Amino acid sequence: MLYLQGIFKLIKMEDFNFSENEAEDVVNIEYDITSYPSDYTLMGLVEMFKNGDIMIPDYQRGYVWKIQQASLLIESFLIGLPVPPIFLYIDDENKNLVIDGQQRLLSIVYFFEGYFGKESQTGKRQVFKLSGLNPQNSFYNCTYNDLDDKDKRKLASSVLRAINIRQLSPAEESTCVYHIFERLNTGGTPLKSQEIRNCVFRSDFLNKLKELNRNPSWRIVINKKELVKNQSDVELILRVYGLAYYLSKYEKPMKEFLNKVAKKEMKGYSNIDHFASAFERTADYINSELRVKPFNVRGPFNVSLFDSVFCNILLHIDNLPSNLSQRYEDLLLDQKFTDLTTLATTDEKILKERFSYVESFLFGDGIHR
């Protein structure tokens, strides 16, 4: 058994303005994690992959090995050379998420299938012949079907070790896989928070948020015609959902709060249908009734201004005051509100005070003027 404890810096959302306090929030987490080895036959791994019991995260880089690299891997099994293990994270449904070893796993699957890589745009696939070997090698240029029965059985029964990782505690919030992926994400362009969530907390819920992200009024509200590549725009919708329905449970840092919301909604206890309707109506209202670029008030898009106003309008969408647009303009000039959107904006006390203040200002009888 091992323990994973660490500090994880929040990453500033590209194209959206977080206060400096939020950008420097850290996550102090202690997990109780167990890891243990399992030996799988290659045929067993292929079947598990085809059945969906082993999954490759959406965000991982595509298959990049050359056929010569894949051929050397297959030859290693055929001649009995050791192969490094793969690493799998076991989730709550006993599905296995590939943390490390995608290239090896797919090379094995492709060879058993007889074709190398995915289909081309024309629908064709390259026949997988063992390439890059010594021409004198008996396996040179062989496909799986070219192997004699003895070698097919040897390959099928060859063993690849997997190191299995499972979170034991906290049992109610199995979010360590997010941080494992975050820490392993060291090569190339670093992935952003929502890109990792879409992988490790994949669900119909997050798919619905991605659908809502295409709403025309929403694109105008956030002043982004094109979808943001790092999915920070999807994270904004997750933030609205989380703060609209779970504000009372909010604890900083924001990133970990959103992880917990995404994890919880994987189980299907979701308000997503109600939220989707209210979200679209809110985006339509803000787009038509509030000022142009309503949340780009003090420079770039201000997330703390956005979250408190958008969430409150969403929660009151069935009973909006006729003078809400003017109330919003007055709110923007209010010094206390300015303070609540510029200082320690994700602090639990300040965030909840900001939401309460906005609700009272926009929807209460005693308007703060």
Task: Identify whether residues 327 and 228 lie together within a single domain.
Answer: yes
Helices and strands of the chain, counted as H and E runs: 16, 8
Q: For residue 148, is it within any domain?
A: yes
Residues 6+ apart with CB under 8 A from 353: 340
Question: Of 150, 167, 184, which marks where a domain is finished?
Answer: 167
Query: From CA 364, how far away is CA 151, in angstroms rounded?
Result: 77
Q: Specify the pLDDT at position 202.
A: 78
Query: From CA 80, how far away is CA 341, in angstroms rounded?
Result: 63
Q: 88 and 106 in contact (C-beta within 8 Å)?
A: no
Q: 203 and 266 in contact (C-beta within 8 Å)?
A: yes
- Higher-confidence position of 59 and 6: 59
Kindly report, residue by residue over 162-208, the tens digit of the pLDDT: 999 887 766 556 666 676 766 665 544 566 788 778 877 878 899 99
Q: Is 215 exposed, middle or buried (0-12, 13-18, 19+ CB in 10 A)?
A: middle
Q: For residue 179, is it within any domain?
A: no
Mean pLDDT of all residues in 97-115: 92
Q: For residue 181, is it within any domain?
A: no
Task: Identify whether residues 39 and 102 lie together within a single domain.
Answer: yes
Mean pLDDT of all residues in 228-242: 94
Task: Identify whether residues 128 and 207 lie together within a single domain.
Answer: no
CA 357 to chain centre: 32
Task: Identify whether residues 22 and 111 lie together within a single domain.
Answer: yes
Residues 6+ apart with CB under 8 A from 97: 55, 57, 88, 89, 90, 91, 177, 199, 200
Task: Identify whether residues 281 and 336 lie together within a single domain.
Answer: yes
Mean pLDDT of all residues in 119-147: 92
Task: Identify whether residues 143 and 234 lie together within a single domain.
Answer: no
- Alpha-carbon dihedral sign for residues 150, 152, 155, 156: negative
- Higher-confidence position of 35 and 187: 35
Q: How many CA atoms lie within 13 A of 315 on its CB side?
A: 21
Whether residue 369 has pLDDT greater than 70: no
Task: Identify whether residues 254 and 330 lie together within a single domain.
Answer: yes
Q: For residue 185, is it within any domain?
A: no
Mean pLDDT of all residues in 136-146: 94
Mean pLDDT of all residues in 297-308: 91
One-letter amino acid at 200 equals: V
Q: For residue 345, is it within any domain?
A: yes
Whether residue 69 has pLDDT greater than 70: yes
Q: Would you place residue 78 in the very low, low, confident or very high pLDDT band (cuts 50, 70, 90)? A: very high
Q: For residue 136, is it within any domain?
A: yes
Mean pLDDT of all residues in 309-319: 97
Q: Would you place residue 6 in the very low, low, confident or very high pLDDT band (cuts 50, 70, 90)? A: very low
Q: Specify the pLDDT at position 282.
A: 98
Q: For residue 37, is it within any domain?
A: yes
The structure tokens listed for 137 are 């090698």
Q: Specify the pLDDT at position 175.
A: 64
Task: Identify whether residues 338 and 202 lie together within a single domain.
Answer: yes
Cis bond upstream, residue 300 (ω within 30): no
Task: Identify whether residues 150 and 239 lie together within a single domain.
Answer: no
Mean pLDDT of all residues in 138-150: 95
Mean of the per-residue pLDDT values of the chain: 85
Q: Specify the pLDDT at position 21.
A: 45
Q: Specify the pLDDT at position 29.
A: 61
* Length of the chain (residues): 369
Task: Identify whether residues 86 and 202 lie together within a single domain.
Answer: no
Whole domain around residue 142: which residue ranges?
2-167
Most confident of 20-34, 47-61, 81-95, 192-206: 81-95
Q: 256 and 354 in contact (C-beta within 8 Å)?
A: no
268 torsion bin: left (phi>0), alpha (psi -120 to 50), beta (else): left
The structure tokens listed for 24 are 């420097």
Task: Identify whether residues 149 and 264 lie together within a single domain.
Answer: no
Mean pLDDT of all residues in 6-17: 40
Residues 6+ apart with CB under 8 A from 316: 359, 362, 363
Q: For residue 295, is it within any domain?
A: yes
Q: Specify the pLDDT at position 170.
A: 65
Q: Specify the pLDDT at position 121.
A: 78
Q: Specify the pLDDT at position 242.
A: 97
Domain count, the chain: 2
Q: Specify the pLDDT at position 219.
A: 97
Task: Identify whether residues 306 and 350 lie together within a single domain.
Answer: yes
